[in-house]
Amino acid sequence: MGPVDIGFIERCESWILESRFFPSKVGGKPAWLNLSHIPDAKSVECKTCGEPCVFLCQVYAPLSTDEAFHRTLFVFICKNYQCCRENYNGNIRVIRQQIGRSNEFYPFEPPKEEKDWRPDI
């Protein structure tokens, strides 16, 4: 088994949750990784009731491969409690976005965690 990372929820400045810093976060709005392929409402519909699921969290989970150097998992959940059933995952939707280290959105080098760093992206 490989290493395990454990995260904790804590308050932070809002600028650190922008896409340019590849955040992991809970609640709010998704900070999409691939800005030219933002999923439509249909992709986050609950398979049980058909209503749009709400954004729960996103986890930055990069891989050490060229095509998935930046990878984020976005988790959405249906807010209708009747859709939540034991051993059933139709009320949860997960979207994976990944892009290579060289891409059209972000610099090749890692971001500096400074508020004024590259506000243009």
Q: Which residues, in sequence order, are CB contacts of 91 under 8 Å at separation 6+?
A: 46, 47, 48, 53, 77, 78, 80, 83, 84, 85
pLDDT in tens, 44-83: 999 999 999 999 999 999 988 888 899 999 999 999 999 9
Q: What are the φ and ψ backbone dihedral angles of 77, each rounded to 5 degrees?
A: -140, 145
Could you tell me if residue 111 is inside a domain? no
Residue 1 in domain: no
Task: Tell me how far apart the alpha carbons of residues 119 and 83 are, in angstroms, rounded to a whole number.
Answer: 40
Is residue 120 assigned to a domain? no
Give the residue numbers spanning the domain of 76: 14-99
Assess if residue 22 is contained within a domain: yes
Domain annotation covers residue 37: yes
Here the tokens at position 79 are 């807010």
H helices within the chain, ranges in order? none
For 106-117, how does the pLDDT look when each residue is reduced to its tens digit (9 = 90+)?
A: 888 888 888 887
